[in-house]
Amino acid sequence: MTFVSKFNTTVASAVVGGCVAVAATTAGAAELRGWNVHVEDYPVSIAMESFMAEVAERTNGEVTGKTFHNGVLGNQPDAIEQIRLGVIDFGEFSLGPMGTSIPETNVVSLPFIFKSIPQMYELMDGEVGEAIGAGMMKKGMVPLGWYDAGARSFYNSKTPINTPADVEGLKIRVMSNDLFVKMVESMDGNATPMAFAEVYQSIKTSVVDGAENNPPSYESTNHFEVAKYYSLTEHLIIPECLCMSLKTWEKMTPEQQEILKDAGHKSALQQRELWQAREAASMEKVQAGGTIVNTIADKAPFQAAMAPVYEGFLADNPDLTELVNLIRNAN
């Protein structure tokens, strides 16, 4: 299996119909629309603005655009579909929910597959990112940069989690992906997929006992007010993608495509630095607010508990075995 993908550099000779967001007057000239779920001062948002500013400058104003923050262009599943159709030109998405339609992206949703954040950077900027990007290209999305979303850990209103046995019986909200459901079930917890916006009230009213997420999400949503135990399992390190519609990409000249790729990667480097600073600030704030944080001395029992998750995934996706092993065997 060859993981290196080649970007399609064909320039479209016609403009797609009125529903498409690219307002091109000549081949390679475009006014782009970008999707982003986050608020304007979030690390992702700042990096996306920098990306578009650099593209506009380096193309001498031939490629310009606007990023619409706060999810005003729709929710993530809808936005992904609009990207594929060319209705939205670029966006920043978590790879987690993509797994249902793009199998390659599901690999990074396997618990504990990355050993650390720095390792994730290295692999996603190299062969692993190219392999996942090839799968995305087949579905009409062109990756331009891999953003950091930190490590996800469990938090709940009942008890610290130090071993898999501590998850038993807990009702944990997860994202809508079978892998996350199976992850919690492998520790005898009760996984409950639900919209992120419903989590605060659901914990407060004991519909669920807790959830799992990165520190900025735990802090910015005030989940720490209703779930004071934050246990640093760091079970998921799921990168996010700044990506462009393949339909939009094919309208660009080869020179513009090269600028887009370079600017995308630079924005990812900026976002990672901003993210790390935001994460540290979030941890400081939640601890000042009374959160009880515990580290996990030995993650091996958690990793061992995930064996059925891996076995089931590879049974369903045997063609991804080599990619999974490439990540698991990396230093």
Model confidence pLDDT, tens digit, residues 81-126: 999 999 999 999 999 888 878 999 999 999 999 999 999 999 999 9
pLDDT-wise least confident of 27-41, 136-150, 188-202: 27-41
Closest CA to 48 of 95, 86, 88, 90: 90
pLDDT band at 9; cut points 50, 70, 90 = very low
Q: For residues 83 and 140, give the distance between their C-alpha atoms in angstroms, rounded to a whole number.
A: 8
Above 70 in pLDDT, residue 7? no
The residues, any chain, with a CB within 8 Å of residue 283's CB and separated by 6 or more, are 215, 219, 293
Span 19-62, pLDDT tens digits: 333 433 344 567 899 999 888 999 999 999 999 999 999 999 99
Contact 246, 137 (CB under 8 A): yes
Name the band, by pLDDT with cuts 50, 70 and 90, for residue 259: very high
- Per residue in 284-312, pLDDT (tens digit) is 999 999 999 999 989 999 999 999 999 99
Q: How confident is residue 177, by pLDDT bands cut at 50, 70 and 90?
A: confident
> What are the distances in angstroms from CA 221 to CA 33, 203, 240, 247, 325?
27, 12, 19, 35, 36
* Average pLDDT of the chain to the nearest whole number: 90
pLDDT surpasses 50 at 153? yes
Helix residue ranges, H only, 76-126: 76-85, 103-106, 117-124
Helices (H), the chain: 43-58, 76-85, 103-106, 117-124, 127-138, 178-185, 199-204, 215-220, 246-249, 254-288, 300-305, 307-316, 321-328
- Using CA atoms, how far apart are residues 104 and 85, in angstroms rounded to an integer? 20
